[in-house]
Amino acid sequence: MAEIYLASKKRYEILDGLRGVAALIVVAYHLFETYSKSPAEQVLNHGYLAVDFFFVLSGFVIGYAYDDRWDRMSMKNFFKRRLVRLHPMVIMGTLIGALLFYLGDCSEFPLVSKTSWWMMLAMMLLGFTMIPALPSMDIRGWSEMNSLNGPTWSLMWEYVANILYAVFIRHLSKTALMIFVAFAAFLTLNLALNWDVFGLLAQRHAAYTVIGGWSITPDQAFIGISRLLYPFFMGLLLSKLHKLIKVRGGFWWCSLMVAILLVMPRMGGEGQEWMNGLYEAVCILVLFPIIVSMGAGSKVSGRSVHLCKFFGQISYPLYITHYPLIYMQIAWAKEHPDASTGEVVALCIGLYILAIAIAYASLKLYDLPVREWLKHHWLMKNSRKETVKQ
Protein backbone atom coordinates (compact mmCIF):
# COMPACT_ATOMS: atom_id res chain seq x y z
CA MET A 1 0.00 0.00 0.00
CA ALA A 2 1.39 3.41 -0.90
CA GLU A 3 2.38 5.50 2.09
CA ILE A 4 1.20 9.10 2.19
CA TYR A 5 2.16 11.94 4.48
CA LEU A 6 0.03 11.87 7.60
CA ALA A 7 -1.71 15.08 8.54
CA SER A 8 -1.61 16.18 12.15
CA LYS A 9 -4.53 15.27 14.39
CA LYS A 10 -6.41 17.59 16.68
CA ARG A 11 -4.25 18.53 19.64
CA TYR A 12 -4.98 18.15 23.33
CA GLU A 13 -4.47 21.81 24.22
CA ILE A 14 -4.45 21.26 27.97
CA LEU A 15 -1.68 18.67 27.72
CA ASP A 16 0.35 21.17 25.69
CA GLY A 17 -0.23 23.75 28.40
CA LEU A 18 0.75 21.36 31.19
CA ARG A 19 3.99 20.55 29.40
CA GLY A 20 4.79 24.25 29.44
CA VAL A 21 3.88 24.62 33.11
CA ALA A 22 6.23 21.77 34.01
CA ALA A 23 9.04 23.19 31.82
CA LEU A 24 8.76 26.59 33.51
CA ILE A 25 8.99 24.91 36.92
CA VAL A 26 12.05 22.93 35.78
CA VAL A 27 13.92 26.13 34.93
CA ALA A 28 13.05 27.63 38.32
CA TYR A 29 14.07 24.38 40.02
CA HIS A 30 17.50 24.45 38.40
CA LEU A 31 18.01 28.13 39.29
CA PHE A 32 17.21 27.43 42.94
CA GLU A 33 19.30 24.26 42.93
CA THR A 34 22.50 26.25 42.46
CA TYR A 35 22.05 27.84 45.89
CA SER A 36 20.73 24.80 47.75
CA LYS A 37 23.10 23.24 50.28
CA SER A 38 21.65 19.77 49.75
CA PRO A 39 18.71 18.06 47.99
CA ALA A 40 16.83 18.01 51.29
CA GLU A 41 17.04 21.81 51.50
CA GLN A 42 16.13 22.51 47.88
CA VAL A 43 13.29 25.06 47.78
CA LEU A 44 11.45 23.64 44.76
CA ASN A 45 12.31 20.20 45.95
CA HIS A 46 10.71 17.79 43.51
CA GLY A 47 11.21 19.69 40.27
CA TYR A 48 13.12 16.72 38.85
CA LEU A 49 9.86 14.75 38.76
CA ALA A 50 8.90 16.89 35.78
CA VAL A 51 10.92 14.43 33.67
CA ASP A 52 8.66 11.58 34.78
CA PHE A 53 5.60 13.73 34.09
CA PHE A 54 6.94 14.51 30.61
CA PHE A 55 7.27 10.77 29.97
CA VAL A 56 3.60 10.19 30.84
CA LEU A 57 2.58 13.01 28.49
CA SER A 58 4.80 11.67 25.71
CA GLY A 59 3.46 8.13 26.01
CA PHE A 60 -0.12 9.34 25.85
CA VAL A 61 0.51 11.60 22.86
CA ILE A 62 2.47 8.93 20.96
CA GLY A 63 -0.37 6.46 21.40
CA TYR A 64 -2.98 9.00 20.34
CA ALA A 65 -0.98 10.20 17.35
CA TYR A 66 0.21 6.90 15.90
CA ASP A 67 -1.68 3.85 17.16
CA ASP A 68 -4.29 3.96 14.39
CA ARG A 69 -1.83 4.83 11.60
CA TRP A 70 0.34 1.75 11.33
CA ASP A 71 -1.76 0.36 8.47
CA ARG A 72 -0.49 3.22 6.29
CA MET A 73 2.78 4.17 7.95
CA SER A 74 6.07 2.27 7.90
CA MET A 75 8.42 2.06 10.85
CA LYS A 76 10.95 4.08 8.86
CA ASN A 77 8.45 6.88 8.38
CA PHE A 78 7.57 6.84 12.07
CA PHE A 79 11.21 7.31 13.07
CA LYS A 80 11.64 10.06 10.48
CA ARG A 81 8.63 11.91 11.87
CA ARG A 82 9.97 11.65 15.41
CA LEU A 83 13.39 12.91 14.30
CA VAL A 84 11.79 15.88 12.56
CA ARG A 85 9.86 16.71 15.72
CA LEU A 86 12.65 16.27 18.26
CA HIS A 87 16.08 16.47 16.73
CA PRO A 88 16.39 20.05 15.46
CA MET A 89 16.17 21.36 19.03
CA VAL A 90 18.61 18.69 20.25
CA ILE A 91 21.12 20.22 17.87
CA MET A 92 20.25 23.78 18.93
CA GLY A 93 20.57 23.00 22.64
CA THR A 94 23.95 21.36 22.12
CA LEU A 95 25.13 24.25 19.95
CA ILE A 96 24.19 26.79 22.63
CA GLY A 97 26.01 24.65 25.18
CA ALA A 98 29.12 24.64 22.99
CA LEU A 99 29.03 28.42 22.49
CA LEU A 100 28.81 29.01 26.25
CA PHE A 101 31.00 26.09 27.35
CA TYR A 102 34.10 27.98 28.43
CA LEU A 103 32.01 30.54 30.35
CA GLY A 104 31.27 27.73 32.79
CA ASP A 105 34.88 27.37 33.91
CA CYS A 106 34.93 27.08 37.71
CA SER A 107 35.88 24.73 40.54
CA GLU A 108 32.56 22.89 40.14
CA PHE A 109 33.52 21.97 36.57
CA PRO A 110 37.23 21.13 36.84
CA LEU A 111 37.55 19.69 33.35
CA VAL A 112 36.41 22.77 31.43
CA SER A 113 39.76 24.57 31.59
CA LYS A 114 41.55 21.35 30.62
CA THR A 115 39.43 20.74 27.52
CA SER A 116 40.90 21.79 24.17
CA TRP A 117 38.73 23.53 21.62
CA TRP A 118 38.92 20.59 19.22
CA MET A 119 37.81 18.15 21.93
CA MET A 120 34.89 20.43 22.75
CA LEU A 121 33.91 20.55 19.07
CA ALA A 122 34.19 16.74 18.84
CA MET A 123 31.82 16.41 21.80
CA MET A 124 29.48 18.93 20.16
CA LEU A 125 29.31 16.78 17.02
CA LEU A 126 28.70 13.70 19.16
CA GLY A 127 25.95 15.58 20.99
CA PHE A 128 24.33 16.43 17.64
CA THR A 129 23.88 12.70 17.02
CA MET A 130 22.31 12.00 20.43
CA ILE A 131 24.85 9.20 20.96
CA PRO A 132 25.51 9.27 24.73
CA ALA A 133 29.09 9.99 25.79
CA LEU A 134 30.77 7.56 28.17
CA PRO A 135 32.03 8.87 31.53
CA SER A 136 35.57 8.60 30.19
CA MET A 137 34.62 11.18 27.53
CA ASP A 138 33.41 13.74 30.07
CA ILE A 139 34.67 17.30 29.48
CA ARG A 140 32.92 19.03 32.37
CA GLY A 141 33.20 16.84 35.45
CA TRP A 142 29.65 15.61 36.00
CA SER A 143 29.84 12.46 33.82
CA GLU A 144 26.80 13.54 31.80
CA MET A 145 25.80 11.89 28.54
CA ASN A 146 26.18 15.31 26.94
CA SER A 147 28.57 17.60 28.80
CA LEU A 148 27.42 20.57 26.74
CA ASN A 149 23.72 20.23 27.56
CA GLY A 150 22.86 17.90 30.40
CA PRO A 151 19.06 17.63 29.95
CA THR A 152 19.47 15.80 26.65
CA TRP A 153 19.81 12.64 28.76
CA SER A 154 16.03 12.49 29.08
CA LEU A 155 15.67 12.93 25.31
CA MET A 156 17.96 9.95 24.82
CA TRP A 157 15.57 7.88 26.92
CA GLU A 158 12.66 9.37 24.99
CA TYR A 159 14.28 8.03 21.81
CA VAL A 160 14.64 4.62 23.48
CA ALA A 161 10.92 4.67 24.33
CA ASN A 162 10.03 5.50 20.73
CA ILE A 163 12.13 2.58 19.49
CA LEU A 164 10.57 0.18 21.99
CA TYR A 165 7.10 1.37 21.02
CA ALA A 166 7.61 1.02 17.27
CA VAL A 167 9.50 -2.28 17.33
CA PHE A 168 7.76 -4.12 20.14
CA ILE A 169 5.18 -2.49 22.39
CA ARG A 170 2.69 -1.43 19.70
CA HIS A 171 2.11 -5.10 18.86
CA LEU A 172 0.98 -5.94 22.39
CA SER A 173 -2.67 -6.41 23.26
CA LYS A 174 -4.14 -4.20 25.97
CA THR A 175 -3.84 -7.08 28.44
CA ALA A 176 -0.19 -7.70 27.56
CA LEU A 177 0.53 -3.98 27.81
CA MET A 178 -1.07 -3.91 31.26
CA ILE A 179 1.23 -6.73 32.36
CA PHE A 180 4.24 -4.87 30.96
CA VAL A 181 3.19 -1.68 32.76
CA ALA A 182 2.74 -3.63 36.00
CA PHE A 183 6.33 -4.88 35.71
CA ALA A 184 7.47 -1.32 35.01
CA ALA A 185 5.61 -0.17 38.13
CA PHE A 186 7.65 -2.70 40.12
CA LEU A 187 10.83 -1.10 38.73
CA THR A 188 9.59 2.31 39.86
CA LEU A 189 8.94 1.02 43.38
CA ASN A 190 12.27 -0.77 43.41
CA LEU A 191 13.96 2.54 42.61
CA ALA A 192 11.92 4.94 44.73
CA LEU A 193 11.76 2.72 47.84
CA ASN A 194 15.37 1.58 47.46
CA TRP A 195 14.57 -2.12 47.39
CA ASP A 196 17.50 -2.63 45.00
CA VAL A 197 16.34 -6.11 44.07
CA PHE A 198 18.90 -6.31 41.25
CA GLY A 199 21.83 -4.92 43.24
CA LEU A 200 22.45 -2.01 40.87
CA LEU A 201 21.70 0.99 43.08
CA ALA A 202 24.46 0.78 45.69
CA GLN A 203 26.62 3.35 43.90
CA ARG A 204 24.01 6.07 43.54
CA HIS A 205 24.41 9.26 45.55
CA ALA A 206 20.97 9.37 47.20
CA ALA A 207 18.46 6.71 48.24
CA TYR A 208 14.66 6.90 48.39
CA THR A 209 14.40 9.06 45.31
CA VAL A 210 14.22 8.55 41.56
CA ILE A 211 16.88 11.19 40.84
CA GLY A 212 19.35 10.04 38.19
CA GLY A 213 19.59 8.55 34.74
CA TRP A 214 21.96 11.02 33.09
CA SER A 215 25.12 8.92 32.83
CA ILE A 216 26.15 5.71 31.09
CA THR A 217 27.13 3.69 34.14
CA PRO A 218 25.35 0.53 35.32
CA ASP A 219 23.51 2.26 38.17
CA GLN A 220 22.60 5.40 36.22
CA ALA A 221 21.48 3.45 33.16
CA PHE A 222 19.28 1.30 35.38
CA ILE A 223 17.80 4.41 36.99
CA GLY A 224 17.15 5.88 33.55
CA ILE A 225 15.32 2.84 32.20
CA SER A 226 13.39 2.49 35.48
CA ARG A 227 12.25 6.11 35.25
CA LEU A 228 11.26 5.70 31.61
CA LEU A 229 9.28 2.49 31.34
CA TYR A 230 6.33 3.01 33.67
CA PRO A 231 5.41 6.65 32.96
CA PHE A 232 5.86 6.45 29.20
CA PHE A 233 3.99 3.21 28.69
CA MET A 234 1.38 4.05 31.30
CA GLY A 235 0.70 7.13 29.20
CA LEU A 236 0.43 4.87 26.16
CA LEU A 237 -1.97 2.58 28.03
CA LEU A 238 -4.12 5.57 28.99
CA SER A 239 -4.45 6.53 25.33
CA LYS A 240 -5.47 2.98 24.42
CA LEU A 241 -8.02 2.64 27.23
CA HIS A 242 -9.32 6.16 26.65
CA LYS A 243 -10.54 6.38 30.23
CA LEU A 244 -10.47 10.14 30.55
CA ILE A 245 -11.65 12.39 33.37
CA LYS A 246 -13.62 15.51 32.55
CA VAL A 247 -13.47 18.43 34.97
CA ARG A 248 -14.49 22.03 34.69
CA GLY A 249 -11.52 24.39 34.50
CA GLY A 250 -9.32 21.40 33.73
CA PHE A 251 -6.23 23.35 32.70
CA TRP A 252 -6.15 25.39 35.88
CA TRP A 253 -6.80 22.48 38.21
CA CYS A 254 -4.23 20.30 36.46
CA SER A 255 -1.67 23.12 36.44
CA LEU A 256 -2.19 23.65 40.16
CA MET A 257 -1.73 19.93 40.84
CA VAL A 258 1.45 19.77 38.75
CA ALA A 259 2.87 22.84 40.49
CA ILE A 260 2.11 21.52 43.98
CA LEU A 261 3.60 18.10 43.28
CA LEU A 262 6.79 19.52 41.76
CA VAL A 263 7.51 22.09 44.48
CA MET A 264 6.58 19.92 47.47
CA PRO A 265 9.33 19.86 50.15
CA ARG A 266 11.34 16.71 50.66
CA MET A 267 9.41 14.19 52.73
CA GLY A 268 10.63 12.58 55.92
CA GLY A 269 13.52 13.42 58.20
CA GLU A 270 16.50 11.42 59.36
CA GLY A 271 15.50 7.78 59.70
CA GLN A 272 12.30 8.35 57.72
CA GLU A 273 13.78 8.85 54.22
CA TRP A 274 11.44 6.15 52.92
CA MET A 275 8.62 8.70 53.08
CA ASN A 276 10.20 10.68 50.25
CA GLY A 277 10.50 7.57 48.11
CA LEU A 278 6.87 6.72 48.79
CA TYR A 279 5.81 10.25 47.82
CA GLU A 280 7.67 10.08 44.52
CA ALA A 281 6.30 6.62 43.77
CA VAL A 282 2.71 7.82 44.36
CA CYS A 283 3.30 10.83 42.12
CA ILE A 284 4.64 8.70 39.26
CA LEU A 285 2.40 5.65 39.59
CA VAL A 286 -0.91 7.36 40.41
CA LEU A 287 -1.06 11.14 40.38
CA PHE A 288 0.70 11.94 37.10
CA PRO A 289 -1.50 9.52 35.11
CA ILE A 290 -4.59 11.01 36.76
CA ILE A 291 -3.50 14.52 35.82
CA VAL A 292 -2.90 13.48 32.20
CA SER A 293 -6.29 11.78 32.13
CA MET A 294 -7.92 14.94 33.46
CA GLY A 295 -6.05 17.14 30.99
CA ALA A 296 -7.00 14.95 28.04
CA GLY A 297 -10.61 14.62 29.13
CA SER A 298 -11.29 18.28 29.83
CA LYS A 299 -11.87 21.20 27.50
CA VAL A 300 -10.33 24.63 27.42
CA SER A 301 -11.79 27.82 26.02
CA GLY A 302 -11.27 31.56 25.78
CA ARG A 303 -7.89 33.03 26.59
CA SER A 304 -6.78 29.78 28.16
CA VAL A 305 -6.54 28.28 24.66
CA HIS A 306 -3.91 30.85 23.67
CA LEU A 307 -2.03 30.36 26.93
CA CYS A 308 -1.97 26.58 26.46
CA LYS A 309 -0.78 27.02 22.89
CA PHE A 310 2.05 29.35 23.92
CA PHE A 311 3.10 27.14 26.82
CA GLY A 312 3.02 24.09 24.58
CA GLN A 313 5.11 25.77 21.90
CA ILE A 314 7.90 26.92 24.20
CA SER A 315 7.94 23.89 26.50
CA TYR A 316 10.35 21.71 24.55
CA PRO A 317 12.64 24.55 23.36
CA LEU A 318 12.76 25.89 26.93
CA TYR A 319 13.59 22.52 28.44
CA ILE A 320 16.30 21.70 25.91
CA THR A 321 18.05 25.11 25.75
CA HIS A 322 18.00 26.50 29.30
CA TYR A 323 20.68 24.44 30.98
CA PRO A 324 23.77 26.06 29.41
CA LEU A 325 22.62 29.17 31.27
CA ILE A 326 22.53 27.17 34.50
CA TYR A 327 26.14 26.08 33.96
CA MET A 328 27.04 29.78 33.74
CA GLN A 329 24.99 30.56 36.84
CA ILE A 330 26.81 27.84 38.79
CA ALA A 331 30.18 29.24 37.67
CA TRP A 332 29.16 32.77 38.69
CA ALA A 333 27.96 31.54 42.08
CA LYS A 334 31.27 29.76 42.69
CA GLU A 335 33.22 32.89 41.77
CA HIS A 336 30.97 35.18 43.86
CA PRO A 337 30.25 33.30 47.11
CA ASP A 338 29.66 36.57 48.98
CA ALA A 339 27.16 38.03 46.50
CA SER A 340 24.26 39.85 48.12
CA THR A 341 20.71 38.54 48.08
CA GLY A 342 19.73 41.32 45.72
CA GLU A 343 22.45 40.37 43.23
CA VAL A 344 21.45 36.72 43.36
CA VAL A 345 17.76 37.51 42.87
CA ALA A 346 18.51 39.88 39.98
CA LEU A 347 20.72 37.28 38.30
CA CYS A 348 18.13 34.52 38.66
CA ILE A 349 15.27 36.65 37.38
CA GLY A 350 17.40 37.79 34.45
CA LEU A 351 18.40 34.24 33.56
CA TYR A 352 14.80 33.06 33.83
CA ILE A 353 13.62 35.74 31.41
CA LEU A 354 16.60 35.10 29.13
CA ALA A 355 15.88 31.36 29.08
CA ILE A 356 12.30 32.00 27.94
CA ALA A 357 13.48 34.52 25.33
CA ILE A 358 16.06 32.08 23.92
CA ALA A 359 13.45 29.33 23.81
CA TYR A 360 10.94 31.52 21.98
CA ALA A 361 13.54 32.81 19.53
CA SER A 362 14.77 29.27 18.88
CA LEU A 363 11.19 28.17 18.23
CA LYS A 364 10.27 30.95 15.82
CA LEU A 365 13.56 31.52 14.02
CA TYR A 366 14.88 27.96 13.90
CA ASP A 367 12.71 25.07 15.06
CA LEU A 368 9.47 25.82 13.19
CA PRO A 369 11.17 26.78 9.88
CA VAL A 370 13.51 23.78 9.98
CA ARG A 371 10.71 21.34 10.76
CA GLU A 372 8.57 22.81 8.00
CA TRP A 373 11.42 22.47 5.51
CA LEU A 374 12.10 18.87 6.57
CA LYS A 375 8.40 18.04 6.36
CA HIS A 376 8.14 19.23 2.75
CA HIS A 377 11.58 18.20 1.48
CA TRP A 378 12.09 14.95 3.36
CA LEU A 379 8.86 13.46 4.65
CA MET A 380 6.41 14.45 1.92
CA LYS A 381 8.93 14.17 -0.90
CA ASN A 382 9.80 10.58 -0.02
CA SER A 383 6.12 9.72 0.41
CA ARG A 384 5.34 11.04 -3.09
CA LYS A 385 8.20 8.98 -4.52
CA GLU A 386 6.82 5.84 -2.92
CA THR A 387 3.37 6.62 -4.32
CA VAL A 388 4.78 7.01 -7.85
CA LYS A 389 6.62 3.69 -7.56
CA GLN A 390 3.38 1.99 -6.65
User: Tens digits of per-residue pLDDT, 290-310?
Assistant: 999 999 999 998 889 999 999
- Average pLDDT of the segment spanning 213-234: 97
> Does the structure show a pLDDT above 90 at 271?
no
**Going by C-beta distance under 8 Å and a sequence separation of 6 or more, which residues neighbour residue 292?**
15, 18, 56, 57, 60, 235, 238
φ, ψ (nearest 5 deg) of residue 9: -85, 170
The pLDDT confidence band at residue 4, using thresholds 50, 70 and 90, is very low
CB atoms within 10 A of CB 11: 14
The CA distance from 161 to 59, in Å, is: 8
Tell me what pLDDT residue 388 has. Answer: 39
Helix axes 218-241, 152-167, angle to 10 degrees: 50
Contact between 369 and 84 under an 8 Å Cβ cutoff? The reply is no
**Going by C-beta distance under 8 Å and a sequence separation of 6 or more, which residues neighbour residue 91?**
128
**Residue 106 in 3-state DSSP?**
strand
Q: How many helices (H) and strands (E) does the chain have?
A: 15, 0
**Going by C-beta distance under 8 Å and a sequence separation of 6 or more, which residues neighbour residue 176?**
none
Tell me what pLDDT residue 7 has. Answer: 56
Per the model's pLDDT, the better-predicted residue between 390 and 170 turns out to be 170
The pLDDT confidence band at residue 240, using thresholds 50, 70 and 90, is very high
Per the model's pLDDT, the better-predicted residue between 386 and 71 turns out to be 71
Tell me the per-residue pLDDT of 66-104, one tens digit each, with 9 for 90 and over.
999 999 899 999 999 999 999 999 999 999 999 999 999
Distances (CA, A) of 187 to 158, 194, 198, 360: 17, 10, 10, 37
- Average pLDDT of the segment spanning 301-323: 96
Specify the pTM. 0.95
> Does the structure show a pLDDT above 70 at 384?
no
> Does the structure show a pLDDT above 80 at 257?
yes
The pLDDT confidence band at residue 11, using thresholds 50, 70 and 90, is confident
- Average pLDDT of the segment spanning 257-274: 93
CB atoms within 10 A of CB 167: 10
User: Which helix (H) or strand (E) segment is 309 a member of?
Assistant: helix 303-321
Contact between 14 and 308 under an 8 Å Cβ cutoff? The reply is yes
Q: Which amino acid is located at 247 in the chain?
A: V
Average pLDDT of the chain is 93
> Does the structure show a pLDDT above 50 at 386?
no
The pLDDT confidence band at residue 284, using thresholds 50, 70 and 90, is very high
Of the chain, the percentage scoring pLDDT greater than 90 comes to 87
> Does the structure show a pLDDT above 50 at 389?
no
Tell me what pLDDT residue 220 has. Answer: 96
Tell me the per-residue pLDDT of 139-170, one tens digit each, with 9 for 90 and over.
999 999 999 999 999 999 999 999 999 999 99
Tell me what pLDDT residue 41 has. Answer: 81
